Amino acid sequence: MTLQQVIFIILAIAVIGSALFVVTTSNLFRGALMLIVAFFGVAGFYVLLDNGLFAVAQVMIYIGAISILIIFSVMLTRGMQAMIPRNAQAGSVAIAAALLFLILLLAFGPFRLVVDLSGVPILSALFRTESARVLGGVPWQFANREVPETYIADFGRALVDLNQFLLPFLLVAFLVDAVLAGAIYIARQRKPAEVIAEREAIAKEEAEELAALQPQPTAPTLPQGAIASTADH
Of residues 13 through 32, those in contact with another protein by CB under 8 A are 15-16, 19-20, 22-23, 28, 31-32
Q: Which residue of 69, 116, 118, 120 would you call a contact of another protein, by CB under 8 A?
A: 69
Give the nearest distance from C-beta 199 to another protein in angstroms.
Answer: 5
- SS3 label, residue 138: strand
Query: What does 141-190 look like in DSSP terms, one character per residue?
Result: -SS--PPPTTHHHHHHHHHH-TTTTHHHHHHHHHHHHHHHHHHHHHHS--
Q: Which residue of 56, 97, 120, 228 would you call a contact of another protein, by CB under 8 A?
A: 97
CA distances from 101 to 9, 94, 106, 107 (A): 18, 11, 9, 10
Q: Which helix (H) or strand (E) holds 43?
A: helix 28-48
- Altogether, the residues listed in the chain come to a count of 233
- SS3 label, residue 80: coil
Residue 56 engages another protein in binding (rule: CB under 8 A): no
Residue 108 engages another protein in binding (rule: CB under 8 A): yes
Give the nearest distance from C-beta 198 to another protein in angstroms.
Answer: 6
Residue 52 engages another protein in binding (rule: CB under 8 A): no
Q: Which of residues 204-233 bind another protein (CB under 8 A)?
A: 205-206, 210, 220, 222-223, 225-226, 229-230, 233
**Is the CB of 96 or the CB of 120 nearer to another protein?**
96
Q: Report how far residue 32's alpha carbon sits from residue 71's, in angstroms, rounded to the nearest whole number.
A: 6
Q: Which residue of 119, 137, 215, 217 would you call a contact of another protein, by CB under 8 A?
A: 137
